[in-house]
Amino acid sequence: MVKDQDYLKNKASYCLDLAKKLGATNISVHVGNSISETVNFRNKKLDESNRSDNLGIDITTYIGKKKSSISSSNLLNNNLDILIEKCIETTKNTPEDEFNSLPDKDLLAKDVKDLNLYDDTHIENDTKIEYLLKLETAASNNKKIVNTESSFVENKSNFILANSDGFCKGFKTSSFTAYSVAVAKDDKSMERDYEYTHKCHLKDIESAEKLGKKAAEQTIKKLSPKKIGSEKISIIFDKRIAKGILSTFASAISSSAITRGTSFLKDKISQKIFPDVINIFDKPDIFKGLGSRSFDSEGVKTDTLKLVEQGILKHYLIDTYNGKKLNLKSNGRCGGTSNLYFDNGKISYKDLLNSSSKILYITETIGHGSNIVTGDYSVGATGFLIENGEFKYPINEITIAGNFKDMFQHLTLANDLEFEYSTNSPTMMIEGMVVAGK
């Protein structure tokens, strides 16, 4: 079992009291415990089983505008004494930074919402093994499947965040994750694909048979890919790829990137960067949401932000330090987004496939080709050629490229949004992208 709130609070309080006595003007303490159990399978046989129990503390001390931090996994009081003394000494010798401070007291969360983020169900290893055996059996049911890998991970965590302004709150979270990888082979190629399920509650994860079957089907569809020539064409991004484009957008509107001047979206507040029909939300209070929370990593309360409204950029993701540089208050996004998503589009998935006589459907991208400084985007990709709404054949060894400033303006979303991750997107089409092929 993870450490309870009382234990974590006691450790945080001990550190706060001692740091004050030693001369800190402000202090922030994060104490957390997480327990993870993992079982891995390979080709229907147990490959590995392990358990980790991580207990740690992060202490940040301020003396005026000077700041330093220290961390440890040893929470014995005599070790905490040494840590805090070192942290105070380091702080004294650190240069001042006028923007260093705790969050404004009036922005701190007053309570912790019950968002049902914790399931105390514990699965014994034998049950995990039984699940994975069913999964691998389903995944290897077709003779074209030559290799399978899978894993089941159960994670429980608890934490307390406390500071010298009286904030002291935390909450428990849990997650259950099952992952299936399949490798298929025919006389022309060998291909790999995957499927996974990730939920806060055990009862919500995909069944083993369904997960294994999906992984196998997706892999087999990729066999015997063809090469295509270079051209400018509309591209549809599968939902699991489309969410990556949304993550890049989030990186580009982080206040740290804005203050450094390293984002192509600098100075774009109140400007139109998407078509009129596009809305983007960050909603931290979704029931059982994988990114849900009542406050950010500084303790600032989190409310729903409509980041983009009718195509217009309305907010950056602001923390305390960078917010002061921008002369803006934190909006509870220290540490990034919570549950980030594109609102549903106006067109059905089927109509999106039929929107042009020839479209590329991308299911996997290769490489990290997003440059948020310039907005340039270039990645290797695999997927399928679609003609007149029908999937014709798989394709590989292509590079797709564009610039986000143009890509965002030519973006169309289907109405098939599902909340499977902490960042979610409907199926996405971007017109006029450059494809480099054979």
Contacts 24+ apart (CB under 8 A), 85-93: 85/22, 87/19, 87/59, 87/60, 87/61, 88/19, 88/22, 88/23, 88/24, 88/61, 88/63, 91/24, 91/61, 91/62, 91/63, 91/66, 91/67, 92/63, 92/66
**Residue 149 and residue 252 in one domain:** no
Looking at residue 438, its pLDDT comes to 72
Q: Let me know: does 262 contact 251? Beta carbons within 8 Å.
A: no
Structure confidence at residue 167 (pLDDT):
97
Q: Is the pLDDT of residue 119 over 90?
A: yes
**263 domain residue, yes or no:** yes
The whole-number pLDDT of residue 223 equals: 96
pLDDT digits (tens, 9 = 90+) for 22-31: 999 999 999 9
Same domain, 102 and 236: no
Is residue 226 situated within a structural domain?
Answer: no
Burial class of 340 by CB neighbour count within 10 A (0 to 12, 13 to 18, 19+): buried
Q: How do residues 405-420 score in pLDDT, each as one tens digit? A: 999 999 999 999 999 9
Neighbours of 239 (CB within 10 A): 18
Residues 150 and 248 in one domain: no
Of the candidates 231, 221, 422, the residue with the CA atom closest to the CA atom of residue 341: 422
Q: Is 395 a member of any domain?
A: yes
User: How many contiguous H segments (helices) and E segments (strands) does the chain have?
Assistant: 9, 18
Q: Residues 370, 413: one domain?
A: yes
Mean pLDDT value across the chain: 96
* Overall domain count for the chain: 2
* pLDDT value at residue 369: 87
118/192 same-domain check: yes
- Of the pLDDT bands very low, low, confident and very high (cuts 50, 70, 90), residue 388 is very high
Coil, strand, or helix at residue 134?
Answer: helix
Amino acid 367: pLDDT: 84
pLDDT at 51: 96
Q: What is the pLDDT of residues 169-192, one digit of tens each?
A: 999 999 999 999 999 999 999 999
57-68: pLDDT as tens digits: 999 999 999 999
CA 403 to chain centre: 23
The reported pLDDT for the residue numbered 115 is 97
**Domain shared by 51 and 182, yes or no:** yes
pLDDT score for 409: 96
- 339 has pLDDT over 90: yes
Query: Residue 416: its pLDDT value, please?
Result: 97
Kindly report, residue by residue over 70-112, the tens digit of the pLDDT.
Answer: 999 999 999 999 999 999 999 999 999 999 999 999 999 999 9
Sign for the pseudo-dihedral over CA of 46, 47, 49, 54? negative
Query: Is residue 141 included in any domain, yes or no?
Result: yes
Specify if 349 maps to a domain: yes
pLDDT > 90 fraction of the chain, expressed in percent and rounded: 98
What type of residue is 149?
A: E
**Is the same domain home to 235 and 210?**
no
Instruction: Give the whole-angstrom CA distance, residue 133 versus residue 125.
Output: 12
Q: Which residues of 51-79 are buried (b: 16+ CB within 10 A; e: fewer)?
A: eeeebebbbbbbbeebbbebeeeebeeee
Write down the pTM of the prediction.
0.95
Instruction: Tell me what pLDDT residue 157 has.
Output: 98
Q: Residue 208 maps to which CATH number? A: 3.30.2290.10
202: its two tokens? 């055990």
Under 8 Å between Cβ of 28 and 163:
yes
In a domain, 138, yes or no: yes
pLDDT band at 145 (very low <50, low <70, confident <90, very high): very high
Q: How far is CA 401 from the centre of its chain?
A: 23
Residues 182 and 65 in one domain: yes
Residue 131 lies in a domain: yes
Same domain? 215 vs 174: yes
pLDDT score at 418: 95
- Confidence check: pLDDT of 404 > 90: yes
User: Is residue 214 located within the same domain as residue 238?
Assistant: no
Last residue of some domain: 157, 192, 221?
A: 221
Q: How confident is the model at residue 212 (pLDDT cuts 50, 70, 90)?
A: very high
Structural domain that includes position 85: 5-221
pLDDT of the residue at 368:
83
Q: Tell me the C-alpha distance between 8 and 74, whole Å.
A: 13
Domain end: 172, 188, 221, which one? 221
Mean pLDDT of 358-374: 93
Residues 123 and 248 in one domain: no
Q: Give the domain-ending residue among 193, 221, 249.
A: 221
Say yes or no: 76 and 34 in one domain.
Answer: yes
> Within a domain: residue 167?
yes
Average pLDDT rounded to a whole number, residues 238-256: 96
pLDDT band for position 437 (cuts 50, 70, 90) = confident
Mean pLDDT value across residues 54-58: 97
- What is d(CA 160, CA 275) in angstroms, rounded to the nearest whole number? 42
